[in-house]
Structure 1
Amino acid sequence: MPATLFPWLNTQEYPFAPHYLSLPDGQRLHYVDEGQGPVLLFVHGTPSWSFEFRQQIKGLASSYRCVALDHIGFGLSDKPEHYDYRPQQHAHNLEHLIEHLGLRAITLIVHDFGGPIGLAYAVQQARNVRRLVILNSWLWDASEAPEFVKMRPVLASPLLPWLYRWFNFSPLFLLPSSFGARRLTPALRRHYTAPFSQAKERNGTVGFAQALLHEQSWFGMLWQQLPQLRDHPVLLLWGMQDKFFGPAYLRRFATAFRQPTIVELPTCGHVPQEEEGDMVLQHIQQFLSISFE
């Protein structure tokens, strides 16, 4: 799909050739495939898309094959009004992409909902995953956590999907409020709001919000399987000012791995790869340079 169909897209900021995979359900999944070498697979969350990893892709593509998808309903992928927008379906789509491209010995780089989506593949295909980089995410049943109990009435309210669909609430308000010391410029902010320009294109963000209410048992099941990855090299790269997945989430993830590499970014909020792009790139490069054989 030519970039001219997305006049809001700054192709100097995001200079990647578009690629599309037709999924078994007929939807077109957009992905970036840049560079050659060991495979780095980037998996975004909500309300984002592969754009959030652009700085790292540009810095790593000279030495690595960088693949980054846009989930259905996000970025430059199709945004059907009616679709199974549960994270389980996104995980199936990710597996289709991996098999389509023949990706092997993968380093998974995941953020937000990309954590459970990407790690759902990793626990099933642990031998095909070499390393993990996890940025501000989670992977367990949080239904009894105090913050979730407090938020449950909001998630269950019919007002929430109405705000998401008709006011583009997630990228317009939640995303900017999740940042730490730095703020999105208007030009960059547009790249997070423009993919959801019409109400009928916003059901992907609604699906993720509803997953927090309805799919906690699936997250818990994945957490129970995570010991299969206990000995994998893992970099936990965390924005410590995250209002959603703060230091307690980092500490819990750290317990799941034998020797995690932990990097705390004290002034960052929820999206370190956007807020401190160069620093995140440097830490990933350093982690990839370490021999764990």
Structure 2
Amino acid sequence: MDIPRVAHRFVEVEGVRVFYREAGPLDAPVLLLLHGFPSASHQYRRLIDALGTRYRVIAPDYPGFGHTEAPEGFSYTFDRLADITEGFLERLGLARFVMYVFDFGAPVGFRLAERHPEWIAGLVVQNGNAYEEGLSDGARSFVALRPEQPGAEQTIRELLTLQGTRGQYEGGTSDPELVAPDGWTLDQHFLDQPGRAEAQVALAFDYKSNVESYPRWQAWLREHTPPALVVWGRNDPFFPEPGARAYLRDLPEAELHVFDTGHFALEENLPEIAPLVADFLDRAWKR
């Protein structure tokens, strides 16, 4: 039985103590796992177990998430999350990898791709949106919130409650019994730490910068045409299925698989998704 040894480490980047998980041979193809909201690298634990003997798998926590420690006064914007992730990759000497982007991982990852197209050997996109049609009505209303708007911050903070966090994991699933409670319980633990809610409020107000960047990211896809695997939970209340199919407009050769689940598709469909990712890694790395 092949089971990977997973190391849990920290590296210093611009005063941020970045936590990350790593498994796999140092000379193997690299898979960078970029997590979503409101989670952290722990959301990929089972995927790391599935892939971490054949590939070098690396999953960091962003500032404001998980075990990563940011200094007081850190500016929580998506540009800054990308800055720290970029510095993290440079510290590890990673210059070529397949990038798995989910939720917040998409705006972080596409910023990295714009800055360093030579780093990207391929893309795995899982409920990571880059298209207007991939925004539900609820997501559009959320993105439209502004700090000066009465009640806007309270609306964001309601999403940071245990009920809101659990709903993101179980909403849209075909069988909630397949969703382990550990994920949303641990996420809530981190959300309840001092300063974490304020970080998430700042990022929520900055999310409009991602939507404004969609045309640039789409142009990047058309120009660089990276090999791509798109896997998607069709019942995602934030990023519905049209967002998955939109990638085919700019990457017509991308492979698309849609599953009857919600936002955190790996929670319910890891047995189906992990082999797809492994097969894609083998093909992308041979290009």
TM-score (norm 1): 0.83
**2:213 counterpart of 1:218:** yes
| Cα distance, 1:155 vs structure 2 | 5.7
In structure 2, relative to structure 1, the CA distance for the partners of 1:155 and 1:274 (3 Å cut) is farther
In structure 2, relative to structure 1, the CA distance for the partners of 1:152 and 1:113 (3 Å cut) is closer
Corresponding residue for residue 192 of structure 1: 187
Instruction: Encode CA deviations 1:162-214: one digit per residue, 9 max, x unaligned.
Output: 46558833753552354422334433431221112235222332233112245
Of 116-125 and 79-88, more deviation after overlay is shown by 79-88
**2:279 counterpart of 1:290:** no
State how far apart, in whole Å, the 2-side matches of 1:249 and 1:282 are.
Answer: 23
Q: Secondary structure at the match of 1:168?
A: coil
Q: Which runs of 5+ in 1 are unaligned?
A: 1-13
In structure 2, relative to structure 1, the CA distance for the partners of 1:152 and 1:54 (3 Å cut) is closer
| Cα distance, 1:96 vs structure 2 | 0.6
Q: Secondary structure at the match of 2:195?
A: helix
| Cα distance, 1:219 vs structure 2 | 4.0
How do 1:8-47 and structure 2 match up within 5 A?
16-24=6-14, 26-36=15-25, 37-47=28-38
Match 2:273 to one of 272, 277, 280: 280
In structure 2, relative to structure 1, the CA distance for the partners of 1:211 and 1:47 (3 Å cut) is same
Q: Secondary structure at the match of 2:114?
A: helix
Match 2:234 to one of 202, 222, 240: 240
State how far apart, in whole Å, the 1-side matches of 2:73 and 2:154 are.
Answer: 16
Aligned residues of 2:233 and 2:262 also touching (Cα < 8 A): yes
Match 1:91 to one of 78, 82, 86: 82
RMSD across aligned C-alpha pairs, in angstroms? 2.9
Corresponding residue for residue 263 of structure 2: 270
Count of aligned pairs? 277
Corresponding residue for residue 180 of structure 1: 173
| Cα distance, 1:105 vs structure 2 | 2.2
State how far apart, in whole Å, the 2-side matches of 1:162 and 1:82 are.
Answer: 22
Q: Secondary structure at the match of 1:32?
A: strand
Aligned residues of 1:27 and 1:78 also touching (Cα < 8 A): yes
Corresponding residue for residue 260 of structure 1: 254
State how far apart, in whole Å, the 1-side matches of 2:117 and 2:69 are.
Answer: 29
Aligned residues of 1:95 and 1:121 also touching (Cα < 8 A): yes
Match 2:197 to one of 179, 192, 202: 202
Aligned residues of 2:133 and 2:246 also touching (Cα < 8 A): no
**2:121 counterpart of 1:130:** yes
Indicate the percent of aligned positions where both proteins have the same amino acid: 23
| Cα distance, 1:100 vs structure 2 | 0.7
Q: Secondary structure at the match of 2:36?
A: coil
In structure 2, relative to structure 1, the CA distance for the partners of 1:116 and 1:288 (3 Å cut) is same
Q: Secondary structure at the match of 1:47?
A: coil
In structure 2, relative to structure 1, the CA distance for the partners of 1:64 and 1:276 (3 Å cut) is same
Q: Secondary structure at the match of 1:268?
A: coil
State how far apart, in whole Å, the 2-side matches of 1:44 and 1:53 are.
Answer: 8
| Cα distance, 1:99 vs structure 2 | 0.9
Instruction: Encode CA deviations 1:40-91: one digit per residue, 9 max, x unaligned.
Output: 1000121111111111111111111111010000011115563211111111
Aligned residues of 1:111 and 1:134 also touching (Cα < 8 A): yes
What one-letter code is carried by the residue in structure 1 that aligns with 2:165? Answer: L
Q: Secondary structure at the match of 2:238?
A: coil
